[in-house]
Chain A
Amino acid sequence: MKRIKLLALISALMLVFTACTADGNGDDGTITTAADGGSDENGNGDGDGDSMGSTLDAVIAADQIVCGVNDGLPGFGVVDDAGEYTGFDVDFCRVVAAAILGDANKVEFFPLTAEARFPALQAGEIDLMIRNTTWTATRDGQEGANFLFTTFYDGQGMMVPAATGFTELEDLANANICVLSGTTTELNLTAVFEARGIAFNPQVFEDNTQLRPAYEGGTCEAWTSDASQLAAFKSSIEGEGGEEQFIMAEIFSKEPLGPVVADGDTAWAQAVEWAVMATVQAWEFGLDSSNIGSYSGDDPNIQNFISGGDISAGLNLPADFAVQVVEQVGNYLEIYEAHIPALGLQLEGSPNNIWTEGGLMYVPPFR
C-alpha cells in the first residue's frame, strides 16, 4: 500500500514538473550556446537574398554571434591573462559582429580543436569559424564547409636550430620532425618528403605546449608549421636567450586562411564575406578607425562606402556596416599591425599586403 502511495506521489510530482517545464525552454538550466544553429541545414537550396531560416536571422534574433576560434595560436587566437580573447582571427569575428549587430563585443568565442572544428560547424554549434583553417578542395567539398574571403596567406615552412647548418629539406634525411596532429601541416609534410624521397620521422604532438620543449630539448631536429607560427616561436626562443633559429627559405605549401561558414546558407555567407572584405576596402581607401567617422572628402566611391546605401541593401547588412567595422575594430592594416608584427613577420613583400603594393589583398569593388 505504501508503495502505491509513493508511486502516486512520484507520478503526481512528475505531472506537475512536466507541466511546468513544458513552458520553460531549456532542458538543463544552461544557456544554449548556438543561436539555434541547427536551422542551418534547412537553409539548403534557399534562394539568394531570401534569408528564410538563415543563420543570419538566428544571429540577429540572438543578438550574438558564436564564433569558433583557436585559443592557443599566437597572434591569431589567444586568451590573455584577463580571460579575453585576442588575436588576428578573433578580431575578424569582432568585425562580423560589428557589421551585422553593430557591436563588436557581441561575440561568443568558442574554442575548438583541430579535430572538432568541422563537426562543430556541421552540427551548427557555431555560426562562424575563423580558426586558421586552410581552404582545401576536400574540405570545401566533403566537410560541408563554405570557405570565404582569405584573410591571411600563410605557407608551411621548416625551422631548425641555426647551429645545425641545415638550409634545405634534403638536409633533414632521417631527422625527427615535430608537427601538430590532425592538421594539413602533417599531410603536407608527408606528401612533400615522400615526393622527394626523403625518409623522416614525424613526432606528432597535440599542442605547442608539448611540442616546443621537445624541439628545444633536441628530441626533434626540425619543426614544421605555418610560417607565421614558426616566426612567432623563433622570436620567442631567441628573445629568451635560446639558441639562434633558422627558418628555411622554402615554403612548401599554400595555406590560405579565412572565415568558414556552413554550406548552403548564402545569405549568411554573403553577409560575413562582405563584412570581412570591408576591412580591406577601407585600407585601400585609406580609411581607418580614426578618420572614417570624420571623412569629408568628395570621392563618391568612398562616400558610397561610408553611407552604404546601395551596397548593403542586397547583402542583408545594415547601411552603416562598413563604418561600424572600421570604427570599432579597424581596417585590415590596423588589425594586422595589432597582432602580426609582434610575431616577427613584416607586411612588406608578404602576400598579405594590399594589391596596390604587390600583395594579394584584393577585394571586389564596393559599389
Chain B
Amino acid sequence: MTTSQTTTEVARPPFWRDIRVIRVVGQIVAVVIVFFLLRYFYGNLIENFNRLGISTSYGFLSSPTNFRITYHESFNPRSPVWEMVLVGVKNTFLAGFFGIILASVVGLFVGVSRLSENWLINKAAMLYVETFRNIPPLVIIVFFGFAVFFYGPFPIFSESWEFSLPGSENVFLILNKDRWGIPGFSEIGNLTFFWVVLALGVIAAIVVWKWRTRMFDRTGQPHHRVLWATGVVLAFSIVGYFVTGQPFEVSYPAISEDRRVLNGGFAINWGFISVTVALGLYTASHIGEIIRGSILAIHSGQSEAANALALSGFQRYRFVILPQAMRIALPPTINQYLNLVKNTSLGTAAAYAEITALTKTSIGNGRPTFQSIVIMMAVYLAFSLVISAILNVVNQRLKLVDR
C-alpha cells in the first residue's frame, strides 16, 4: 500500500503522516491482529477440547489401526497408525510420480498434436483437451474405474489373461480387473552393498555428465551426455550385481494354484491405475495447452530458420522449437504437477489407499480428527514444498540461460 517512500516536503510531517511511523505502526498492528486471531482460535480449540474431553496428544500414532489396507498384505490390523501414515505417503507419492510422468508424456504429445497440420490429429487433440479439462477430476476417476475395470474388457482375477514371450514359459504380463502383474525383482541376497555400488554409479554418472558438458562447451563436440550417464549407471549396476554376489533376480508374476494370489513380479492394483491414469489424462489436457501456448510463443522466425537449414520436422521440434518452448512451459507445468499431486487426494473414489483415504478411514474408526487432519496436511505441505523447491531451482536455471 505504501509503496512510495518519496517525501518531498522539507518540513517534517506530523507523526501520524510520517511514512516511517506508519510503516512501523502498520506492521505492529498487522502482527497483533494476526496474533490475537490465532490466539482466539487456539483458545477456543483448547477450551472445546477440554470441555468434550478430547485429547490433543499424538499418542494414538503408536496404537493399532484395527483395519487392513487394500493390497498391503504386510500391513495387519495390529500395525500402528504411523505405519498407516507411511503407507499413505508412499501411495500418494507413487500415484503422483507416475501421474506426472504420464501427464508429461501425454501432455507433450497432445500439445504438439494441437499444432499438427494433420486435420484429424489436430481436431482429435482439441476434442481431447476440451473434454478432459472441463470435467471435474473426481468424475474422471470414477468414470475411469467404470469404463476400464468394472464394465471394461478385462476378465476377473481368477481368469486373468496371462501373456508370455514366445519360447519362454515365464509370464511377463497378467491382466485382469484387479491386480496387474509385470516382471519385477526379488531379493535373494543382501542388497545393501548393491545399493552402495549403485549410489556410487549415480555419483560417477553426474561427474561424467559434467565432464561431457564441459567438453561440449569447450570443443563443440556432440556431448551425448544422456547416453554417457546411462552407460555409466548401467555399467556400475552390472558390475555391482556380480561383485556383490547376485543379490537379486528377475521374478515373473504368477498366479497361485487356487487362482487367488498374485505371486512374484510387481503387482499394480486397479485403484492405482485408475487414479494415476485418470489424473494423468486430466493434467495432460492442461499441460497440452501450456505446451501449445509455449510453442506458439516462439517466434516464427525460429521455425523458418530451421526450415532454411533443411532440418526435418522432427529435428525442427527437437532441436529448435521444443528447447525454447520448454523454457516458457516449465514453470506453469510444474504448477500443474503440484495440482496433480494434490488431486491424488481423490484416490478415495477408486478405493486407492493414499493418505487422504486412509486418514478418512482412520477418523471414521475413531482416531482423533484434528491430529489426523494436521498430519495429512503436513504430508501434502511437504510434497508441495519439495515441488516448489524444484520449481525455484528450475526458475533459477532458466534465468541463467535467459539473455
- Would you call A175 and B260 a contact (CB within 8 A)? yes
A200 within 8 A of B: yes
A9 within 8 A of B: no
Q: How far is the CA of A114 from the CA of B361 in the complex (A)?
A: 10
- Would you call A206 and B71 a contact (CB within 8 A)? no
- Would you call B77 and A194 a contact (CB within 8 A)? yes
Q: How far is the CA of A241 from the CA of B351 in the complex (A)?
A: 27
| Residues in B340-367 with C-beta less than 8 Å from chain A | 348-349, 351, 353, 357, 360-361, 363-366
- Whether A203 contacts B70 in the complex (CB less than 8 A), given A142-B366, A144-B52, A187-B365, comes out as yes
B contacts with A, residue count (CB < 8 A): 40
CB distance from B387 to the nearest CB of A (A): 27
CB distance from B57 to the nearest CB of A (A): 15
- Would you call B348 and A176 a contact (CB within 8 A)? no
Q: How far is the CA of A292 from the CA of B150 in the complex (A)?
A: 51
B292 within 8 A of A: no
CB distance from A264 to the nearest CB of B (A): 12
Q: How far is the CA of A217 from the CA of B77 in the complex (A)?
A: 28
B68 within 8 A of A: yes
Checking A174, A203, A221 against B261 with a beta-carbon cut-off of 8 angstroms, the contacting residue is A174
| Residues in B124-169 with C-beta less than 8 Å from chain A | 142, 145-146, 149-152, 155-157
Q: How far is the CA of A203 from the CA of B145 in the complex (A)?
A: 13
- Whether A213 contacts B260 in the complex (CB less than 8 A), given A183-B364, A187-B67, comes out as no
CB distance from B12 to the nearest CB of A (A): 20
Interface of A is mostly: mixed
A51 within 8 A of B: no
Q: How far is the CA of A251 from the CA of B176 in the complex (A)?
A: 31
- Would you call B150 and A202 a contact (CB within 8 A)? no
CB distance from A45 to the nearest CB of B (A): 14
- Would you call A216 and B70 a contact (CB within 8 A)? no
CB distance from A193 to the nearest CB of B (A): 8
**Which chain A residues lie closer than 8 Å to B156 at the CB level?**
218-219, 221
A contacts with B, residue count (CB < 8 A): 36
A138 within 8 A of B: yes
A110 within 8 A of B: no
B178 within 8 A of A: yes
- Would you call A219 and B177 a contact (CB within 8 A)? yes
- Would you call B361 and A217 a contact (CB within 8 A)? no
- Would you call A176 and B157 a contact (CB within 8 A)? yes
- Would you call A115 and B363 a contact (CB within 8 A)? yes
- Would you call B364 and A182 a contact (CB within 8 A)? yes
Q: A182-B361, A210-B145 are in contact. List 20 more A-B contacts (CB 8 A).
A: A115-B364, A174-B260, A176-B157, A181-B360, A182-B365, A186-B365, A190-B67, A190-B68, A194-B76, A201-B70, A202-B69, A203-B351, A210-B142, A210-B349, A214-B150, A216-B150, A217-B149, A218-B155, A219-B150, A219-B178
Spell out A's residues near B (CB within 8 Å). 41, 114-115, 119, 122, 138, 142, 144, 173-176, 181-183, 186-187, 190-191, 194, 199-206, 210, 213-214, 216-219, 221
The 3 residue pairs across chains A and B that have the minimum distance between CB atoms: A182-B364, A217-B150, A218-B156
- A to B CB contacts below 8 Å, 8 in the list: A119-B369, A144-B52, A173-B258, A173-B260, A174-B260, A187-B365, A204-B357, A213-B145
